[in-house]
Amino acid sequence: MPIQTRLFEKKSPNKSPILCYERTHNAKSMINLIDLFAGIGGFHYGVEAAASQYGKSVKAVIVSEIDETCKEVYENLTRTNVLSRTTSPKDVLLIIFI
């Protein structure tokens, strides 16, 4: 979806007018993230920072990491449950992109 720009006038702290523009995006406001080989969440953080520039939030739908220490750090930083080696086969999701 194209990014739209809106011009508007805003008052500065010293009361003089400033011409500003705002970028808007017509897509949904939530980005669903699948983070495989997640580490401690660097990619999640980067996506979240970029999404916030467009007024969007990020929800990690699936996160996978085999290192238990990284898994704990990721969960503490993002409040997201992370799949690991101990995850049972019934919890694994197969995703096919066409």
**Residue 89 belongs to a domain:** no
**Residue 37 belongs to a domain:** yes
**Residue 27 belongs to a domain:** yes
**Residue 98 belongs to a domain:** no
Q: To which residue do tokens 């007024």 refer? A: 55
Which pLDDT band holds residue 94 (cuts at 50, 70, 90)? low
Q: Rounded to an integer, what distance in angstroms lies between the CA atom of residue 41 and that of residue 47?
A: 10
Q: Rounded to an integer, what distance in angstroms lies between the CA atom of residue 26 and that of residue 20?
A: 20
**Residue 11 belongs to a domain:** yes
Which pLDDT band holds residue 74 (cuts at 50, 70, 90)? confident
**Residue 67 belongs to a domain:** yes
Helix (H) / strand (E) containing 73 = helix 68-78
Q: Rounded to an integer, what distance in angstroms lies between the CA atom of residue 67 and that of residue 60?
A: 18
pTM value surpassing 0.85: no
What is the span of the domain harbouring residue 56? 3-84
Q: Rounded to an integer, what distance in angstroms lies between the CA atom of residue 80 and that of residue 72?
A: 10
For the chain, the domain total comes to: 1
